[in-house]
């Protein structure tokens, strides 16, 4: 009987799943109200000081601060609250890897679509935007996308690049083409760390000026440029690069489209050139990790045909496209958990 009690099932895992939205919405509210920027550089507040500054009554201020402390976003010393190290690093506006844009994008653009996830499941169509009236979620006419998405992806890309650098040597490359990079966060981080590396941001025409501004602000406009295009429609990718990066791109499309893009990569690369696929990789049985599987669900509400794929699927597609020597590299970052790397045969 004692052994049976030791293994008795609990409802607690289900409670944690159910309450997950509470954590996110509390977090998102703090970002929207600039709480962490207000408390930057070691500033601390009491509940009453916080309430007065935010125009809140004592009760909601007390509840809000307690919740943020419980999430390790604030810490409490005596009767005063201050930013945790995590919040100070990533949630203060103006910090190099500010994560708040990503939170705002998910809160304001994606979260409403998740309210209709059953509709997405039944109809196999996105609920974040309407394919009947828009060409894609990335339409320049979508004000929220233009305001939030590219900024959201910027910090995520830079942080992911930092993690990849620790497990893969980019000093072997000289010219990098980042396909669908967004605002340039990935090549900016790479070119900072590897002075002999130059890069090109290949993006939609309406995104290239955003990337150019970020690149100039980083002081790297002499080594990173932009090229306007659409890899889903252009017959070929720009050539002259020894490495092509596909970071968080393939999960946005279906298998047929991804295979076609890999063939374009093969044709654009010189003999011996490398392609890097950076993604949240599912395991071969497609049972996890949860971050990869749930991002697949996110693609259901956000994209037409997008899904997260298993590492073995990428390896298979690369082989079919004519690439050799596939390698799977593991790392942990907000934007990816690994990379699949392969090269074009030298002869």
Q: Which two tokens stand for residue 337?
A: 């958990």
> Phi and psi of 220, rounded to 5°?
-120, 20
In three-state secondary structure terms, 53 is helix
Q: Please say whether the beta carbons of 149 and 173 come within 8 A.
A: no
Q: Please say whether the beta carbons of 304 and 131 come within 8 A.
A: yes
Q: How far apart are CA 78 and CA 56, in angstroms?
A: 21
Instruction: Spell out the residues 6+ positions from residue 49 whose beta carbon is closer than 8 angstroms to its own.
Output: none
Q: Please say whether the beta carbons of 188 and 165 come within 8 A.
A: no
Between strands 175-179 and 243-247, the pairing is parallel
Residue among 7, 58, 115, 251 flagged as catalytic: 251
Of 263, 276, 217, nearest to 237 by C-alpha is 263
Look up 251 and say whether it is catalytic. Answer: yes
* Run of H or E residues at 176: strand 175-179
Round the CA-based radius of gyration of the chain to a whole number and report it: 22
Question: What crossing angle do the helices spanning 255-268 and 311-320 adopt, rounded to 10°?
Answer: 50
* Run of H or E residues at 14: helix 12-18
Per-state percent for the chain, helix, strand, coil, to nearest 5: 50, 15, 35
Q: How many residues does the chain have?
A: 347
Give me the active site residues, please.
Answer: 251
């Amino acid at each position: 009987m004692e052994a049976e009690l030791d293994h008795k099932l609990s409802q607690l895992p289900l409670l944690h799943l159910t309450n997950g939205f509470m954590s996110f919405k509390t977090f998102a509210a703090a970002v929207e109200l600039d709480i962490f920027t207000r408390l930057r550089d070691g500033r601390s507040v009491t509940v009453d000081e916080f309430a007065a500054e935010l125009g809140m009554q004592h009760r909601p201020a007390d509840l809000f601060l307690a919740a943020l402390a419980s999430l390790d976003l604030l810490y409490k010393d005596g009767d005063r609250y201050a930013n945790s190290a995590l919040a100070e690093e990533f949630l203060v506006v103006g910090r190099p890897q500010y994560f708040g844009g990503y939170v705002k994008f998910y809160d304001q653009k994606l979260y409403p679509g998740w309210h209709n996830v059953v509709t997405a499941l039944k109809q196999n169509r996105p609920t974040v935007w309407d394919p009947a009236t828009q060409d894609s979620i990335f339409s320049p006419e979508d004000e929220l996308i233009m305001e939030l998405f590219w900024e959201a992806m910027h910090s995520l890309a830079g942080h992911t690049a930092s993690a990849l650098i620790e497990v893969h040597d980019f000093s072997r490359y000289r010219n990098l083409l980042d396909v669908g990079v967004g605002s340039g966060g990935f090549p900016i981080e790479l070119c900072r760390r590897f002075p002999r590396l130059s890069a090109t941001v290949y993006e939609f025409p309406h995104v290239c000026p955003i990337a150019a501004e970020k690149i100039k602000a980083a002081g790297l406009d002499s080594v990173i440029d932009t090229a306007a295009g659409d890899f889903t429609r252009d017959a070929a990718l720009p050539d002259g690069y020894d490495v092509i990066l596909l970071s968080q791109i393939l999960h946005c499309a279906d298998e047929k489209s991804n295979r076609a893009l890999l063939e374009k990569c093969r044709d654009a690369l010189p003999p011996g050139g490398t392609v890097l696929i950076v993604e949240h990789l599912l395991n071969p049985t497609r049972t996890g990790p949860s971050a990869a599987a749930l991002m697949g669900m996110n693609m259901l509400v956000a994209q037409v045909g997008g899904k997260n794929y298993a590492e073995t699927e990428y390896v298979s597609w690369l082989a079919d496209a004519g690439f050799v020597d596939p390698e799977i590299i593991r790392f942990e970052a907000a934007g990816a958990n690994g990379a699949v790397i392969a090269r074009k045969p030298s002869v």
